[in-house]
Each structure stands twice: as structure tokens, then as C-alpha cells.
């Protein structure tokens, strides 16, 4: 009987604590669970979202093909800027990689086929 009274007192104490004294810390409590990799990914995503692509000067088709040929021969990385922009005037993201091959209408950079007529400029890194 004494043990039951002690259990009831303890239950009452716990119930009373959660009802009157306990304060939920909310978001602060969970911040310790974020891994550094997850935080780094969130920061990287935020930077990417706010990054503005620099508008490169328009190149002629002959200069574009010559730059791509030079990069293919030297196994250099290239930055290919497409002649596309959003409604608010921001350029599409640049395509960065090596020249993987050619077709009669375009070039393959970083496993992506790009038509010559859509290329604005090429820069060799």
C-alpha cells in the first residue's frame, strides 16, 4: 500500500511539473540535430539562389568554334554561356565542363549537347 501511495505522489509530481513548470524551447531544442554537412548544403543552396551570372560579351560563331576546339585539344575546362535569359533579364546558369564531343549542329560539354546557335560565349579556364 505504501508503494502505491509513493507511485501516486510521483505521478502527481510529474503531471504537475509538465502542466505548470515545463517550458518547451521549440526550435532552439532542435538546432543541435542539424549536421554540419546539412548546414553547409543549406548555405550553398542559398548562395546559388542569390548568385547572378555575369553576362559575357557575345562571340561570333567562328570564335566560339575555335575556342571549343582549343579547349578540346588541351583538355581544358570551358565555361559555355547560353544566349538565354529569364523574364527579369538574368542570364541562365553557365555550363562548365570539358568538351566531350561534337555533332554537326553542336558540341557536347559535361555530357550535355548544346546547339551552336544557342551559345552566346565560351571562356576557357
List the CATH number of the domain containing 71.
2.30.30.100
Grid cell digits, residue 89: 533579364
Grid cell digits, residue 97: 565542363
Closest CA to 119 of 74, 71, 48: 71
Structure confidence at residue 17 as a pLDDT band (50, 70, 90): confident
55 is a domain residue? no
Range of the domain at 79: 61-124
Is the domain of 18 the same as that of 41? yes
pLDDT in tens, 82-121: 998 888 888 888 999 999 999 999 999 989 999 999 999 9
Cβ partners under 8 Å of residue 68, min gap 6: 78, 99, 102, 107, 122
54 is a domain residue? no
Amino acid at each position: 500500500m505504501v508503494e502505491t501511495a509513493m507511485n501516486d505522489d510521483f505521478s502527481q509530481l510529474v503531471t504537475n511539473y509538465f502542466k505548470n513548470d515545463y517550458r518547451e524551447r521549440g526550435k532552439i531544442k532542435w538546432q543541435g540535430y542539424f549536421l554540419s554537412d546539412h548546414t553547409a548544403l543549406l548555405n550553398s543552396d542559398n548562395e546559388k539562389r542569390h548568385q547572378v551570372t555575369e553576362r559575357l560579351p557575345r562571340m561570333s560563331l567562328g570564335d566560339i568554334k575555335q575556342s571549343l576546339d582549343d579547349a578540346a585539344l588541351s583538355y581544358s575546362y570551358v565555361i559555355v554561356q547560353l544566349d538565354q535569359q529569364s523574364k527579369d533579364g538574368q542570364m541562365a546558369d553557365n555550363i562548365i565542363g570539358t568538351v566531350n564531343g561534337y555533332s554537326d549542329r553542336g558540341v557536347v560539354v559535361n555530357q550535355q549537347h548544346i546547339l551552336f546557335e544557342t551559345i552566346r560565349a565560351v571562356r576557357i579556364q
